[in-house]
A = this chain, B = another copy of it.
Amino acid sequence: MTIYNPPVRDMQFALHDVLKLSKSGLPGHEDLDRDFTEAVLDAAGKLASEVLAPLNAVGDRQGCRLENGVVRTPDGFDKAFQAMKDGGWTALDCDPEYGGQGMPYVLGVATGEMFVSANMAFNMYQGLTHGAYSAIHAHGTEEQKRTYLPKMVSCDWTGTMNLTEPHSGTDLGMLRTKADPQPDGSYLITGQKIFISAGDHDLAENVIHLVLAKAPGGGEGTRGISLFIVPKYLVNEDGSLGARNGVSVGALEEKMGIHGNATCVMNYDGAKGWLLGDLHKGMRAMFTMMNEARLGVGLQGYACAVPAYQNAVAYAKDRLQGRAVTGVQNAQGAADPLIVHPDIRRSLMDQKSFLEGARMLALWGAHLIDKANAGDADAEGLVSLLTPVIKGFLTDKGFETAVLAQQIYGGHGYIEEHGMSQFVRDARITMIYEGANGVQALDLVGRKLAQDGGKHVMAFFELVKAFCKQHGEGPVGTDFIAPLKAASKDLQTAAMFFMERSMKNPNDALSGSYDFMHLFGHVALGLMWAQMAVAAQGSLDAGDGDAVFLKTKLATGRYYMKRQLPMTATHLARIQSGAEPVMELEAEAF
Contacts and interface: CB of A to CB of B under 8 A. Distances in A.
A194 B412 CA distance: 10
B171 A349 contact: no
A361 to B, nearest CB: 21
Contact of A577 (B263, B317, B348, B563): B563
Interface stretch (A16-24, A74-82, A292-300, A413-421): A413-421
A493 to B, nearest CB: 14
For A317, A442, A566, the residue with the greatest tally of chain B CB atoms inside 10 Å of its CB is: A566
Contacts of A429: 414
B346 A582 contact: yes
Contacts of A174: 320-321, 334-335
Given A438-B343, A566-B573, A255 B583 contact: no
Contact of A255 (B407, B416, B437, B581): B416
Contacts of A569: 566, 569-570, 573
Contact of A562 (B407, B411, B414, B577): B577
A103 interface: no
Contacts of A250: none
Interface string A190-224: 00001100000000000000000000000000000
A587 B317 CA distance: 8
Interface stretch (A85-93, A271-279, A510-518): A510-518
A343 B411 contact: no
B335 A171 contact: yes
B169 A410 contact: yes
Interface stretch (A7-15, A44-52, A548-556): A548-556
A341 interface: yes
Contact of A342 (B347, B349, B582, B590): B582
Interface residues of A, number: 95
Number of copies: 2
A371 B411 CA distance: 33
Nearest to A513: B343
A441 interface: yes
Given A255-B415, A339-B587, A407-B437, A321 B566 contact: no
Interface string A381-425: 000000000000000000100010011001111111100010011
Given A168-B321, A341-B442, A411-B432, 17 more contacts: A171-B320, A174-B335, A254-B416, A254-B417, A263-B415, A316-B590, A342-B583, A343-B513, A345-B583, A352-B590, A399-B403, A407-B432, A410-B432, A414-B432, A559-B584, A569-B569, A569-B573
29 contacts: A168-B321, A169-B321, A169-B411, A170-B321, A170-B410, A171-B321, A171-B322, A253-B417, A254-B415, A256-B421, A339-B590, A342-B507, A342-B510, A342-B511, A342-B513, A343-B441, A344-B438, A349-B582, A407-B432, A407-B437, A407-B438, A414-B433, A552-B589, A558-B584, A563-B577, A566-B569, A566-B574, A569-B569, A570-B570
